[in-house]
Structure 1
Amino acid sequence: MKVLFIEDDMIESMKLQRAISKFQYKHTIIEAKNGEEALEILKGGDLPDIIFLDLNMPRMSGIEFLTILKSDDRLKYLPTVILTTSENRADLLECFRIGIAGYIIKPLKYEDYESKIKKVFDYWEISELIKA
């Protein structure tokens, strides 16, 4: 699976890379530091299978990015999973209203993080949308 990981924190990027290195299947991670950079990557043409998106980023918030993504006829079906520290219920509801595929709060313990990430990958590996 090809994953677009939109995250401005280098430690979070390293954490995701470490987690997926332990998975049975190999995945390609494309990283963007903010929503603007991610949109440029998506305009390049070769689309990811799934997007992991942080909400709290410089330049363009995750919600602003989502709004642009979901209003684009070519990009709106890309499954987007929020991976954030925000436990704000308003953020959660707004993201689902816009059209996300999931909302994961980053746990403090690495083992819990790895477990949550694995579950998301396991689900999307068998999803018919990814296969289409």
Structure 2
Amino acid sequence: MELKRILLVEDSINDVELILTSLAQNHLGNEVVVVRDGEEALDYLYRRGMYRLRREGNPVVVLLDLKLPKVNGIEVLAELKTHPVLRTVPVVVLTSSREEQDLTSCYELGTNAYVVKPIDFHEFMDVIQGLGLFWAIINETPPGSMPVPINNGQGIK
């Protein structure tokens, strides 16, 4: 069985490093695909552009920052939650925003969770470990989340 993929949509290099380190320290060997802006996230999910040849299957969870270049996180969330196939992909908003408007908008659009990034390093690590454990191991994923083997006997997809 292949490990479930996590899509991390984050433009802060420091936050990416902390998140990847935290997941690794919790021995979550899941593949984490990192994209740096909302446009790249949509390209990944829709398998277009540089991701047109990526493996089939949706990520088990999308960890989505809100303050992103090109296409912001709220726009990405709105796009995902209105798409007939992608709307079942769990989305966890992982942001520094405590703005009530952002929180309300995200839940109205259908986010599965809204997590404010702790400022304290150890708290941040604990939060990420908990998210990784829940979404990649404990939570039952919607159909289509499991990756399909790359070589299915009919050549490479």
Shorter-chain TM-score above 0.5 = yes
Give distance in 2, aligned partners of 1:118 and 1:59: 29
Give CA deviations for 1:7-30 in whole Å, capped at 9, x if unaligned: 111111111111111013311110
**Structure 1 gap ranges (5+):** none
State the structure with bigger RCO (CA 8 A, min sep 6), 1 or 2: 2
Please tell me whether residue 37 in structure 1 is matched to residue 48 in structure 2. Answer: no
Please tell me whether residue 122 in structure 1 is matched to residue 133 in structure 2. Answer: yes
Give CA deviations for 1:84-107 in whole Å, capped at 9, x if unaligned: 000001100110110111111111
1:112 aligned partner, one-letter code: E
- Residue 41 of structure 1 deviates from its aligned partner by 0.8
Tell me which residue corresponds to 1:83: 94
1:126 aligned partner, one-letter code: I
Please tell me whether residue 26 in structure 1 is matched to residue 29 in structure 2. Answer: yes
Identity of aligned residues (%): 28
User: Could you say what secondary structure the match of 1:21 adopts?
Assistant: helix
Could you tell me which of 104, 114, 122 is aligned with 1:103?
Answer: 114
Q: Provide the TM-score with structure 1 as the length reference.
A: 0.93
Higher share of residues assigned strand: 1
Which 10-residue stretch deviates more, 118-127 or 106-115? 118-127
Instruction: Kindly name which structure, 1 or 2, has the bigger radius of gyration based on alpha carbons.
Output: 2
2:80 aligned partner, one-letter code: L
Give distance in 1, aligned partners of 2:109 and 2:45: 18
Tell me which residue corresponds to 1:12: 15
Q: Provide the TM-score with structure 2 as the length reference.
A: 0.79
